[in-house]
Structure 1
Amino acid sequence: MENMHIVFWLLKDISWCMIWKPLGVAMIFPTLIISIVIAWRTRQFMSELCHNVAISVWISANSYWMISEFFHFDEHHIWGGITYKHLALIPFITGLLILMYFYLWWQPRNKEETEIIEA
């Protein structure tokens, strides 16, 4: 499943690069759904869960950004210098915050559990 996930993700990004709108939009669904399934399956391991949820929100941000470019609303201004493309920062930052939580808060307090998983 993880290997197919990469294939879908690459097809989505190649479609974005080549401006193949139907394929790019279609590839959002299997890419995102599989990333969520992977996160769910690894939920018993905090390290894997945090990284896989961060990947899921990254795919969401990336997909929104692609759609905003495909349908030409990426450069429309919301307020001041902020455009609709900048809204992709919300899930990007969410993923970063999840990883910061794991590395700065959870992992230092659960060293034994992290060492067992890595062994």
Structure 2
Amino acid sequence: MHLRKLENAHIALWLLKDTCWVMDLHVPGLVMIAPTLALAIFITARFRRYTAELFHNIAVCLWITANSVWMIGEFFYDDGLRPYATVLFVAGLITVAYYYLFLSRKEIRET
């Protein structure tokens, strides 16, 4: 399957997971973590040769993981997992910031 189609399927999975979350559907929400994160990791691996895509997709994987931790926290721990989700969100931001502050400039100079 073409990567663009996989990216679109990934968005649909992510929306389905978050819809389960907002509707307080615990089991379907938990089940949707696996395919959503697995597809994100697969897409990241496929783009590993392209620095910009790699770093953005790593950030997406961290975002989905953070989002999932936050969801689990709301479902089962009175949102007690939010600090862990925050660390993952910040890691995603750092990943993208690193790309833009250091790697993208290098790519521009080399072209």
Larger Rg: 1
Equivalence for 1:79: none
Equivalence for 2:16: 11
Aligned length: 106
| Structure with greater strand percent | 1
Equivalence for 2:64: 59
**C-alpha offsets along residues 13-55 of structure 1, whole Å, 9 cap, x if unaligned?**
0000000001100000000000000000000000000000100
Give the alignment of 1:1-119 within 5 angstroms. Answer: 1-75=6-80, 84-111=81-108
Unmatched runs of 5 consecutive residues or more in structure 2? 1-5
Q: Distance in 2 between matches of 1:19 and 1:47?
A: 35
Unmatched runs of 5 consecutive residues or more in structure 1? 76-83
One-letter code of the match for 1:2?
E
Segments of 4+ in structure 1 off by > 4 A?
Answer: none
**C-alpha offsets along residues 67-88 of structure 1, whole Å, 9 cap, x if unaligned?**
000013414xxxxxxxx31211
Q: Distance in 2 between matches of 1:2 and 1:110?
A: 24
Q: What is the CA distance between 1:112 and its match in structure 2?
A: 5.0
| Structure with greater helix percent | 2
Structure 1 vs Structure 2: percent identity of aligned residues?
Answer: 43
One-letter code of the match for 1:91?
L
The two structures, once aligned, show a CA RMSD in angstroms of 1.3
